[in-house]
Structures are given as structure tokens and as C-alpha cells.
Amino acid sequence: MSPLIIASRFCGPERSANGGYFAGCVAARAGRTVTVRLLQPPPLDTPFETQALADGTLAVMSGSDRIGEARPATLILDTPALPGYFEAVEASRGYLGFAHHRFPKCFVCGTQRPRGDGMRIFAGPIAERALVAAPWVPDGSLDRGDGKVRPEFMSAALDCPGFYAVSPDDRMMLLGEITVHVSRVVHVGEPCTVIGWALESSGRRHTAGTAVLDEDGEVCGLARGVWIEPKQAPRLSA
């Protein structure tokens, strides 16, 4: 199998991969629903080898360093009351990243990424529903060749809204692990809604649910992400 390489376009922090996109690429290699744990920030434009271990783990290696790992998983997650697309459009006006963004070039939620380059998923709060929501219209660069988006972009979409769900005060957190299940991919140009909601918190560990809804408001992708407040904020941007 050829090495896995995360191109610089798909960054989260400027020097490392967006966690959701990385997880989607690893899940594609596993060929099933997995929990992907990020052990180190995945460097960009770097060849990774994937190794299947005897216990069922898929290890992602950069030389002798284990960057991440994936384990077989199932995902059962109850969703809150689902907002409509235009509710998400209105919610996105309150996106915290418009006022301050630690990683403004993030492929998924960065405010400095133009249309057709970044995904521009700007999840803002819907207080009465206790969730965040954003509109998302996938552009043509995400096409897998049949008018639908590649699954790794569904996984990417399910990343950042989880952060804004568990960090309404914009505390520094990094994705520790994520379990993604995509029941079907959406169409390029389809007006979708992405939501995130808090599940639980314990100390520096916070868990969020996220979902992608299609044009008809049906759930077609779900994720559970674990976000960790670092003891000391790492230097991840230039």
C-alpha cells in the first residue's frame, strides 16, 4: 500500500493536519468505522506508513514514531432536535472565529480560507437548542468523481463544530480522538447543515457529538470527538 500523505491544504494548525481529515484518511485505509486517536500532531506533506497489528489496531507511523492509531468501533449516538438549514445560516453569524481564531487557516473552519479552498464551516450557537450549527455547501474540489464528496471530507466536516460545542468560551483544546460513521456521502453543491453538541466533560477532557445533515434534514454522518485541554498550550502555528 502506498504511503499516506496529508497535503498542506488540509491543515488544522498551519503545520499539522486537520484532525478530522486525518481520521477520515485513516478510516479509508481501515475500510470500516474506527476510533482514530491522535498521538502527535500529524505533520503535513510527510509520508506515513500504516501497519496492521495483531490486536486489530491500525498504527500510523512516521519512521519509528507512532503518529496515530485506529481501532474498530461502532457508533451509537442520539442527536438533539435538529435545526433547519436557514437556522444554521443565522447561527453562523455568531461564529466565535469571526472575532478571534487561533488557527485561521484551518481547512475546515478557518476564516482566512477562500471559497473553493477551505470548507468554511462556521458553527455558531443556537442557545435554545444547546448546540452549534453551520451551513455547508460542498464545493467541486471535494468531488470524488461522481458528484459526491469523498468520505474523508465528511469526516473533516464532523471535526471543528465539536470544538465550538464544548468550548463556548474559546478555551484552547485539541482533538484527542474521534469516531466517525458515514452512512452516505452528500452531493457537491448540496445545501447541508453541520451541528455539534456537548456530551460530557471531566477535568480537561470534553466529549462532543457532531452530525452532517443533508438537504432534506436527514442525518448522513455522525461523530463522537474527544477534546483535550492541554496543560500548556503547544506552539502549532507559524
**Judgement on whether residues 50 and 134 belong to the same structural domain of the protein:** no
Q: Average pLDDT for residues 79-88, to the nearest whole number?
A: 97
Give 143: exposed, middle or buried? Use CB within 10 Å, 0-12, 13-18, 19+.
middle
What pLDDT does 99 receive? 95
The range of the structural domain enclosing residue 59 comes to 8-72
**Judgement on whether residues 106 and 39 belong to the same structural domain of the protein:** no
Residue 14 lies in a domain: yes
Q: Note the pLDDT tens digit of each residue in 16-29.
A: 999 999 999 999 99
**Judgement on whether residues 15 and 55 belong to the same structural domain of the protein:** yes
Number of folded domains in the chain? 2
pLDDT-based confidence at residue 1 (cuts at 50, 70, 90): confident
**Judgement on whether residues 127 and 210 belong to the same structural domain of the protein:** yes
By percentage, how much of the chain surpasses pLDDT 70? 97
Decide which of 43, 72, 101 is a domain's last residue: 72
**Judgement on whether residues 38 and 96 belong to the same structural domain of the protein:** no
What pLDDT does 233 receive? 54
Residue 1 lies in a domain: no
**Judgement on whether residues 20 and 94 belong to the same structural domain of the protein:** no
**Judgement on whether residues 125 and 223 belong to the same structural domain of the protein:** yes
Q: Note the pLDDT tens digit of each residue in 93-135.
A: 999 999 999 999 999 999 999 999 999 999 999 999 999 999 9
Residue 238 lies in a domain: no
